A and B are shown apart, each in its own frame.
Chain A
């Protein structure tokens, strides 16, 4: 016995000290064991392919049997033209029907019938440690499952308004002044300058910072707002196009961003969500947009951001269902 242990102890660091990759958390044996959940991913995920490169660049979540799909707005608008796959079928000429910048969600329509939408009625709160299954990499006909667990508290992710002017503000003697102008922002293009005094925004008097921020929260990137300003004795009427915050300010990478693979891996827009589920499934910017299921095939949310190497965010099912109802009402 003693000799056996002695030999075994010596062999340990030499031979038996590494677990083969197929047995690891993201390995093929684990994927195989998830096949009962893969069925739901296969039916209710959409895959977006770039028409130019034929590469899959984003997932979507099927929300109606006649072809409504929700996905991540700031990623899909990066690609000029694309086609969609649901299950094994290919759909050409998808059209954008609605978007919401608060949630960074785009609703897209394909011409289809008899799809299997996700079932919103099942969504409920999940405790930490609950397994969830998302889309990993994909094959043309087969959605590969990838597992992770709920890893932190469900919560709001602050990030301010998704639409920004591109200026710093200064309050002085009851007036609001432009303190600096960000290069290449809508404000810079419209000709705003440091020292300009702000009087009106879209016809309403605005004299403090909070009023302006509250007003901008209701706006979306691409919207135009009309400003009345004074520069010296001159009164100016300028129109400014708002820009997406992550595009204007998203470049300042931290050490943890670098550790997470930076822009190639992380979603460009990863803050500013009213509510998220956090899980630790290994996703990247090209594998978000799809549905998240429990081991019981319950739909619990839609992946909305690959945040860093340990955190992924999903819009909870309940909130996504309310958003869907709102987007459907839009003309």
Chain B
């Protein structure tokens, strides 16, 4: 807690390139407005090109690329699951496939990796947490979904409220902006759009320090917490669609397959012998206890012998009927 807030305060004393308009209580002259405009416009080309639209299951959100290799930050309620395929659309209409990494369901933060050859356009991140209450900021997003003719939607405002895991701005947001980026006037990413308040001028964002606090877990694909921004799969609801019996040769022999079940779809056949479940020697008990912990949509790696050949697949579980 103390370690995390120290740089916030310290930063204001150390960094000299803070724009002057941030230290005025409000713009006093048109010159102050022009300085804000100049700062904002100098960062728009780069920040717009790195602001992407995410599409999955009929829904649409926004996100921002933070590395040339295609690492993306967004909101947990946009990806909603780990290890899901998500369509990524750039402002110019180019489409890529992305895969969701980890998410924090308590604070609404999530990561995603674009699959495909970079380099991708990306933005700098305010890792030193230098932005403070009252600072001028700008917000980008694919409001209401992707619209090539319109392009990325830009808004300007100030940071109007600060809390540890949420910051609030008076940049207006709407559906489709979720997961999109909030920048300071040095063009650095400071937060990700999460939700709106009752009035048009209350917009909530997840600050970068919240991503930093769980960086490795998010990057390694972990589902954090039981919060309201993403629902963890329910243990026991995962369904493989296979009946087995212990085999004398070791492992589990497939005796029956559920029609159109995920096991059948991945190519398992009656008579095949499952030899490993999630990297461990396959037994009837291990199969039962493993499935009891997994939910629909969770993944399970199986290794089996089919017609004398060894096969290995990671299978996404179906819904238990």
Across the interface, B172 reaches (CB within 8 A) one of A127, A155, A309, namely A309
Residues of B within 8 A of A152 (CB): 150-154
Total chain A interface residues with beta-carbon distance under 8 A: 49
A259: which B residues are within 8 A, CB to CB?
174-175, 196
Asked whether any CB of chain A lies closer than 8 Å to the CB of B170, the reply is yes
* Residue-wise interface mask of A (293-319) relative to B, using a CB-CB cutoff of 8 A (1 in contact, 0 not): 001000000000000111100000000
Question: Do B26 and A23 have beta carbons less than 8 Å apart?
Answer: yes
Which residue of A has the minimal Cβ distance to B91?
A153
CA A157 – CA B316 in complex, angstroms? 43
A24 to B160 CA separation, bound complex (whole angstroms): 7
Whether A129 and B26, one on each chain, are in contact in the complex, defined by CB atoms closer than 8 angstroms, is no
Instruction: Please state if B201 and A25 are interface contacts (CB–CB under 8 Å).
Output: yes
A17 near B154 (CB under 8 angstroms)? Answer: no
Q: Which of B30, B44, B200, B201 contacts A33 (CB 8 A)?
A: B30
* Contact present for B156 and A25 (CB under 8 Å): yes
| Interface-central residue, A13, A25, A156, A282, by most chain B CB under 10 Å | A25
Report the minimum CB–CB distance from B169 to chain A (whole Å): 9
B161 contacts A18, C-beta separation under 8 Å: yes
How far is A23 from B44 in the complex, measured between Cα atoms in Å?
Answer: 25
Q: Quick check: A308 and B33 within 8 Å, CB to CB?
A: no
Contacts of B41 in A (CB 8 A): 127-130
0/1 string, A27-66, CB within 8 A of B gives 1? 1011001101100000000000000000000000000000
Q: Which residues of A contact B222 (CB under 8 A)?
A: none
Convert A269-313 into 0s and 1s, putting 1 for each residue whose CB lies closer than 8 angstroms to a CB of B: 000000000101010000000000001000000000000111100
Which residues does chain A contribute within 8 Å of B9, judged by CB atoms? 5, 8-9, 12
Size of B's binding interface in residues, CB under 8 A: 52
Whether the pair B162, A151 counts as a contact (CB closer than 8 A) is no
A156 to B147, CA, bound (A): 12
Using CB atoms, name the residue of chain A closest to B169. A25
Contact, CB under 8 Å: B170 / A129: no
Docked complex Cα distance between A130 and B175 (Å): 24
Closest residue of A by beta carbon distance from B37: A131
Known A-B contacts A19-B158, A25-B157, A280-B172; the reply to A33 vs B152 at CB < 8 A is no
The answer to whether the Cβ of B186 comes within 8 Å of any Cβ in the partner chain is no
Is A321 an interface position by the 8 A CB rule? no
Tell me, yes or no, whether B155 is within 8 Å of chain A by CB. yes
Contact B37 A130 (CB under 8 A): yes
Q: Which residues of B contact A282 (CB under 8 A)?
A: 172, 200-201
Contact B143 A310 (CB under 8 A): yes
Q: Are A311 and B156 in contact (CB under 8 A)?
A: no
A interface, by DSSP: helix, strand, loop or mixed?
A: mixed
Please tell me if the beta carbons of B144 and A30 are within 8 angstroms of each other in the complex. Answer: no
Q: Which of A12, A131, A310 contacts B174 (CB 8 A)?
A: A310
Give the contacting residue for B156; candidates A27, A153, A280; CB below 8 A: A280
Contact B32–A33 (Cβ < 8 Å): yes
Contacts of B30 in A (CB 8 A): 33-34, 36-37, 295
Q: B160-197 CB contact bits vs A (8 Å, 1 = yes)? A: 11111000001011111100000000000000000010
Residues of A within 8 A of B159 (CB): 19
Q: Nearest chain-A residue to B160 (Cβ)?
A: A19
Decide yes or no whether A255 CB sits under 8 A from chain B: yes
Choose one: A23, A34, A311; the contact of B143 (CB below 8 Å): A311
Q: What CA separation (Å) do A155 and B176 show in the bound complex?
A: 20
Please, which residues of chain B bring their CB within 8 A of the CB of A129?
Answer: 37, 40-41, 44, 138, 154, 156
Q: How far is the CA of A156 from the CA of B148 in the complex (A)?
A: 12
Q: Which residues of chain B are near A261, meaning CB under 8 Å?
A: 200
Nearest Cβ on chain B to A40's Cβ, whole angstroms: 12
Chain B contacts for A311, CB-based, 8 A: 143, 153
Asked whether any CB of chain A lies closer than 8 Å to the CB of B300, the reply is no
Docked-complex contact B134 and A19, CB < 8 angstroms: yes
The answer to whether B150 touches A9, judged by C-beta atoms less than 8 angstroms apart, is no
Interchain CA distance A19-B48 in the complex, whole Å? 28
> B27: CB under 8 A from chain A?
yes
Q: Tell me whether B174 and A30 are in contact (CB under 8 A).
A: no
B16 beta carbon closer than 8 Å to chain A:
no
Q: Would you call A33 and B26 a contact (CB within 8 A)?
A: yes
In the complex, B289 has a CB within 8 A of chain A: no
> Which of A9, A19, A310 sits near B161, CB closer than 8 Å?
A19
| A260 & B174 in contact (Cβ 8 Å cutoff) | yes
- Asked if A18 meets B151 with Cβ closer than 8 Å, knowing A5-B6, A9-B8, the reply is no
Q: Taking the complex as formed, is A149 at the interface, i.e. its CB lies under 8 A from any CB of chain B?
A: yes
B68 within 8 A of A: no
Q: How far is the CB of B204 from chain A (nearest CB, A)?
A: 13
User: With a CB–CB cut-off of 8 A, which chain B residues contact A16?
Assistant: 133
**B34 on the interface (CB 8 Å rule)?**
yes
Interface residues of A in 123-153 (CB under 8 A from B): 127-131, 147-153
Q: A310 near B150 (CB under 8 angstroms)?
A: no
CA distance A36 to B28 in the complex (A): 11
CB-based nearest B residue for A308: B174
Query: Which residues of A are in contact with B by a Cβ distance under 8 Å?
Result: 5-6, 8-9, 12-13, 16-19, 22-27, 29-30, 33-34, 36-37, 127-131, 147-153, 155-156, 255-256, 259-261, 278, 280, 282, 295, 308-311
10 A-B contacts (beta carbon < 8 Å)? A8-B9, A18-B133, A18-B161, A19-B134, A23-B134, A24-B158, A25-B201, A29-B25, A29-B27, A295-B37
**B interface residues (Cβ-Cβ under 8 A, vs A):** 2, 5-6, 8-10, 25-30, 32-34, 36-37, 40-41, 44, 48, 133-134, 138, 143-144, 149-164, 170, 172-177, 196, 200-201
Q: A23-B134, A129-B40 known; 7 other A-B pairs, CB under 8 Å?
A: A5-B9, A23-B158, A29-B27, A30-B26, A149-B156, A256-B176, A261-B200
